Amino acid sequence: MAKQPKSKKSQFLESIHQAVVIRMLRMIERNGEPITCAGDMNAAKRGPRAIAEARMTGMTPGEPDVRVYLPNGELLLVELKTEKGRLSKAQIERHKRLAEVGLPVLVVKQAHPLDTALQVGAEVARRLGYDDWKFNTTAAIAASDVLSAVGKGA
């Protein structure tokens, strides 16, 4: 049997993983759960002026992709990676600093955005005191919505 050529790129960009996770978290919030979330695009392409403005206004290299605000002031920080993605030097340094101040970063590395959402959803469920599968259906709906919107199908 002939060997399959190895793909150098992931099938799904990290931004798609993030879009699915944010969609799922917003659906969970709209369903009445006591959370809210925010996402960052630190890796977005910017020109020199935009880079300077971003730094002046507080954008920090290596900051996690997703923040989930939970009850009692708890903060879940999530870094998303595709199956081939690696943490940058800035991410390693920033995550270390965040852990030093009591804010560890959950690094989620998955091939498919649905698996990413399932892992993040399980962690949110666990922190809310639910079984880890509580948000599986929400994750699946979010993945289907986003992947259909970008033409990748579910």
- CATH of residue 25: 3.40.1350.10
Q: What is the pLDDT of residues 39-95, one digit of tens each?
A: 987 665 667 887 777 777 777 889 999 999 999 999 999 999 999 999 999 999 999
Residue 105's contacts (CB-CB under 8 Å, 6 or more residues apart) are 64, 77, 78, 79, 95, 98, 99
Residue 72, both tokens: 């009692």
Q: d(Cα 56, Cα 59) in Å, to the nearest integer?
A: 7
**Residue range of the domain that includes 20:** 14-149
Q: What is the pLDDT of residues 1-15, one digit of tens each?
A: 445 445 556 689 999
> 80 in a domain, yes or no?
yes
> 39 in a domain, yes or no?
yes
> 1 in a domain, yes or no?
no
Residue 85's contacts (CB-CB under 8 Å, 6 or more residues apart) are 10, 14, 109
Task: Look over the chain and give the mean of its residue pLDDT values, rounded to a whole number.
Answer: 89
Q: Which residue has the tokens 């879940």?
A: 76
pLDDT of residue 6: 53
pTM of the complete model: 0.86
